[in-house]
Chains A and B, each alone.
Chain A
């Protein structure tokens, strides 16, 4: 460690200044883009959320926190928040659980590449296309009901997408189908990067496969799992496409997530200022989640040191 630096000579100072200017030139396009397309709209959105917005005349007055208190007294907002929590939990448990299972199963078996490709393919489709495909799986005259009738389980057929207990699980199944492949590939990469010595040592010592997984593989895989967790939480939190395609028309909009609620209020109901306040709340929640995850990551890194 250096406690005191020698004073830079005038030549060095000039060089530093030139360096700084060069850096600034390189930075300028990025700074400009981020400012114009991210910061300004963000600040503008926050400003809108404190105003009243009349449909054809635009911002017409400052209303303080009225839009926010409307959100907190709106049962639809809480319903959407509750649905979003189910989505986050489901996208944590299902894609990661299944992805990890597939990754462990496929590790080192013959034809693993083919299986990996098959599991990964849904990831390549646009979520809207996935929603449409699964809409027709669950539709009244869709694949699922046809299959059930075909095997003599006609009594089990139902309007899956209009059943209050089935609609969100149906959408989550579609989501899991799409996201498991990516999680699996990331975990396979994580598994491939593990050092082999501890595993071999454990085998020599006579540990059972479960013990090896629980005490050696899982702890070493934690950093990868954390990355996968972050991706999954964000995917669950920002779910829009699937809900829009499969659950938008569900009576009373009781299947919407926060993101869809915000879109609906803004563009369908033309309540732009209220929509802006919901957007700010979504942003704050996302910030909070990211903060918790950063803390966890920090902890994990500290432990690894």
Chain B
């Protein structure tokens, strides 16, 4: 009896070990995009079928940053992981932990797979340090039913946008959803209004060469405050932002196009129930522009030595992988052969290409995070209490934070 039991245990252990080995096949891809984990797992199954296995391994964002930082500190970062572009990528590159991926990019571009401009976001000092997990443009989604109800069409200029908002309001529909949900969203309208009025100041602000108390920023808060005063926004305190748009609490929603999947989960169909347009410029003679965002998958120097890591990255940029990733979770990685994830991304990217729009980096990645985090809290404070006096305080406080930061970090 005992012998049989022991044999049984041994068999179970062996089976578990065998299963463990099979599941652990392929490099681990660490990430903090837990909301895409299920899609990543389906992607991993597909990848394994195609002989390019990987194992998506999610973390909560806070712990994730600590995990990567300690890995880099001890000289043992993960082989393959997702990161952010902009200042955050530069920090990591400066630590010497990352492997440039120019060779793999060259292969993919030469094979007619990848759009070379998709690498721009991941360049640090002329070298490319990542491949896109997703490339997103920040657009205004609009609810087609509510637009029809108010008899309006997507606006082409800022004046048209204001007229649209006015008509919606007249029809009893709140024009925009915007909240401070999860604490990070405060920069969205700030950044958008600034690039629509004075994009050069936006870039200078990120580089520490312009002030948060400058006229350009004052103008942003004035426009933003006016929109609030006219009752154009839903309450900033809702904790159901995407659902709120999907339910039709308001007609328009400014967000990265990665949110399409979330809106779909809320019950709307892209193209049929909702569309998107790029926010028109407020200063009319400005060139076309859009906020771009794209988390990279990066490879550490230790990971670069392993053939299975390079194999996975190479495969990730093919149309086979890009098409699967475009279907689920509807994300675009800059592959030109694969079909676009959905009709909205297709229309927007065509419109942007036709207008030769310039892609500007998102505030979250473009400004140093020591400024971004407290600044976003200040912007949130304004959204909850959008009075001119609060705007004044917010500008002063953020400038003080920026002063402190740049005093220590200016070369």
- A residues within 8 Å of B by Cβ? 55-58, 135, 139-141, 159, 161-162, 248-249, 251-253, 267-270
What's the tally of chain B residues with a CB closer than 8 Å to chain A? 33
Question: What residues of B have a CB within 8 angstroms of the CB of A161 in the complex?
Answer: 237
Beta-carbon contact of A56 and B183 below 8 Å: no
Interface centre among B66, B74, B182, B239 (most CB of A within 10 A): B239
Inter-chain contacts of B92 with A (CB < 8 A):
56
Q: Contact at A55–B91, with CB atoms within 8 Å?
A: yes
Find chain B residues with CB under 8 A from A139 CB: 239
Q: Are the CB atoms of A269 and B373 closer together than 8 Å?
A: yes
Would B95 and A159 count as touching, CB distance under 8 A? no
User: Which residues of chain A come closer than 8 Å to B236, judged between CB atoms?
Assistant: 162
Which one of A57, A135, A251, A268 contacts B73 once the chains associate, using CB atoms below 8 Å?
A: A57
User: Which residues of chain B (150-181) have a CB below 8 Å from chain A?
Assistant: 180-181
In whole angstroms, how far apart are the Cα atoms of A73 and B267 in the complex? 50
- Contact between chains at B69 and A249 (CB < 8 Å): no
Q: How far is the CA of A58 from the CA of B236 in the complex (A)?
A: 39
Q: Chain B: which residue is nearest A76 at the CB level?
A: B374
Q: Which of B192-200, B319-327, B375-383 contacts A (4 or more CB under 8 A)?
A: B375-383
What distance in Å separates the Cβ of A140 from its nearest Cβ neighbour in chain B? 5
B240 proximal to A (CB < 8 A): yes
B interface vs A, CB < 8 Å?
A: 62-63, 65-66, 69, 72-74, 91-92, 94-95, 97, 180-183, 235-240, 369-370, 373, 377-378, 380-381, 383-385
- Residues of chain A contacted by B180 (CB below 8 angstroms): 249, 251
Question: Which chain B residues lie closer than 8 Å to A268 at the CB level?
Answer: 62, 373
Question: What 10 new A-B contacts, CB under 8 Å, besides A251-B383, A269-B373?
Answer: A55-B95, A56-B69, A140-B237, A141-B240, A162-B237, A251-B377, A253-B377, A267-B63, A267-B65, A268-B62
Distance (Å) between the CB of A164 and the closest chain B CB? 9
In the complex with contacts A57-B95, A159-B237, A249-B384 CB distance below 8 A = no
Q: Which residues of B contact A135 (CB under 8 A)?
A: 239
Give complex CA distance A251, B377 in Å: 5
In Å, the complex CA distance between A249 and B377 comes to: 8
Q: Is A140 within 8 A of B235, CB to CB?
A: yes
Asked if B66 and A267 sit within 8 Å, CB to CB, the answer is: yes
Beyond A251-B377, A252-B378, is A269–B237 a contact (Cβ under 8 Å)? no
- Give min CB distance, A146 to chain B, whole Å: 14
Listed A/B pairs (27) with beta-carbon separation below 8 Å:
A56-B69, A56-B72, A56-B73, A56-B95, A58-B74, A139-B239, A140-B235, A140-B238, A141-B240, A159-B235, A159-B237, A161-B237, A162-B236, A162-B237, A162-B384, A249-B180, A249-B181, A249-B380, A251-B180, A251-B378, A251-B381, A252-B377, A252-B378, A252-B381, A267-B65, A268-B373, A269-B373
The 9 closest A-B pairs by CB, nearest first: A56-B95, A251-B381, A58-B73, A249-B183, A159-B237, A267-B62, A162-B237, A251-B380, A56-B72
Complex Cα distance A97/B378, Å?
38
Interface pair B238/A141, CB less than 8 Å apart: yes
| Separation of A159 and B235 alpha carbons in the complex (Å) | 9
CA distance A159 to B385 in the complex (A): 12
* Chain A residue nearest to B244 in the complex (CB): A141
B69:A270 contact, CB within 8 angstroms: yes
How close is B233's CB to chain A, nearest CB, in angstroms?
A: 13
Q: Residues of A contacting B373 with CB < 8 Å?
A: 268-269
A251 and B66 CA atoms in complex are apart in Å by: 24
Q: Which residues of chain B are near A162, meaning CB under 8 Å?
A: 236-237, 384
User: CA of A251 to CA of B185 in the docked complex: distance in angstroms?
Assistant: 11
**Cβ-defined contact, B73 with A248, below 8 A:** no
Contact of B72 with A249 in the complex, beta carbons under 8 Å: no
